[in-house]
Structure 1
Amino acid sequence: MMPYVVVVAGLGRCGTSLTMQMLHAAGFPCVGEAPAFEDAATQHRVEPAWFSEQAGKAVKILDPQRVGIPRSALTAVIWLDRDPEQQAKSQCKFVEMLGYGFNNRSAQRRCMKQLALDRATARGTFAGRNTLDLRFEDLIVSPGTAAARIAMFLEPWKSLDVATMKAVVRKRDVKCAPDMSIELSLIDGIRVGATA
């Protein structure tokens, strides 16, 4: 069994869900349900005992500067980043859809400033740990290369099919879409698969 917890981490709207979908498609055990792969245990402070029990699985952790990554288990981190302007637009769009804020230029500027502050602190939560840095843009533009990098990173513990991982990525622009059609199509795809 793989002794590491694989943490797929980043600040919101950076490609963590897509990375988890790629891992899941290749047969890597993932905590949480598709398409988001979010678990209640990672929404607030992550408990060390629970975290240790996830060895051999991928765990998505958004905003690690807020919830922490315990040192209770060996950890391999896949860190996702994104162009700050596009990430801010995507965050504001998502928050507005949930009814918690507004999606306008002022909100996007505030969000970009907060992302800049949070990024360094978030990265500090896994300093000294085995880390693979990926960008959202690379997942979209070069999914085969990104999948190969993930597979190589995890190869000491599990062999992953790069073609299967690549096939998960939908062709799209790296810029933030003006609506939630991509996200909603993923959710609809999961519903259709569950009823088929």
Structure 2
Amino acid sequence: MMKPTLFVAGLGRCGTSLVLQMLDAAGMKCAGKYPDFEPVEMKSFSKPVDTSWLKSNAGSAIKWLDPHKVRVATSEIDASVIWMHRDHHQQAKSQAKFMEALLGVHLARSDISKLKNQLRTETKLALRATRPLPLHVICFERLLSEPAETAANIVQFLHGTGHQFSHDPVSLMADQVIPRKPKCMPDLSIEAFLVEQSRC
């Protein structure tokens, strides 16, 4: 029997890449390339994601950012969802940092506050877009403070949706979490380290 697809979903800068790195370490097939795992097929706002592409990746883990904008025909595929939640203030700061680093756009404190409120609104819309798929919520802050426990919860959820591992992957998954505080870091040093690691 074909395994269901696993969507790792959320709004930008919430920890979806980290969860996919954990799943990759556990031996699960993940769409896209390490360390961000962002296939081009999941980036279009103008048209729904190709259902045939999704079905060809059945059993894989797929990053699904902004589900309310990147449309998936959830009723046509066998899938489940891990939803990544992050403190909206820290997430807004992280998005602002990313925009400044990549686009040279600096956001003032008032802009970051507006972004935080926008994240609150969009979270509700995005979660609604994942219905009626089975959903497991992971808190980014909890993942950083308790990586082994969070990994075990992920494995338990996957077992319940038809995914089985030939070994106990919890320690391999937890090892992918670089110890750090949950507050937004001032730079992209972790991202740079992971990109460099991918070249080795």
Same fold (TM over 0.5): yes
**C-alpha distance in 1 between matches for 2:188 and 2:67:** 25
Match of residue 163, structure 2, among 157, 161, 169:
157
**C-alpha distance in 1 between matches for 2:114 and 2:2:** 41
Whether contact under 8 Å (1:51, 1:70) holds in the other structure is: no
Residue equivalent to 1:57: 60
Percentage identity across aligned positions? 40
Whether contact under 8 Å (1:77, 1:132) holds in the other structure is: yes
**C-alpha distance in 1 between matches for 2:104 and 2:132:** 36
- SS of the residue 1:168 aligns to: coil
Q: Which runs of 5+ in 1 are unaligned?
A: none
Whether contact under 8 Å (1:143, 1:166) holds in the other structure is: yes
Residue equivalent to 1:35: 35
Match of residue 176, structure 2, among 164, 168, 179:
168
**C-alpha distance in 2 between matches for 1:39 and 1:162:** 26
- Give the alignment's TM-score, normalised by structure 2: 0.92
**C-alpha distance in 2 between matches for 1:125 and 1:181:** 33
**C-alpha distance in 2 between matches for 1:178 and 1:106:** 18
Deviation at 1:79, TM superposition (A): 0.3
Moved more, 159-168 or 101-110: 101-110
Q: CA RMSD in A?
A: 1.3
Deviation at 1:100, TM superposition (A): 5.7
Deviation at 1:2, TM superposition (A): 4.0
**C-alpha distance in 1 between matches for 2:81 and 2:153:** 13
- Give the alignment's TM-score, normalised by structure 1: 0.94
- SS of the residue 2:68 aligns to: helix
* Structure 1 stretches of 4+ moved >4 Å: none
The amino acid of 1:182's aligned partner reads I
Moved more, 6-15 or 107-116: 107-116
**C-alpha distance in 2 between matches for 1:182 and 1:108:** 22
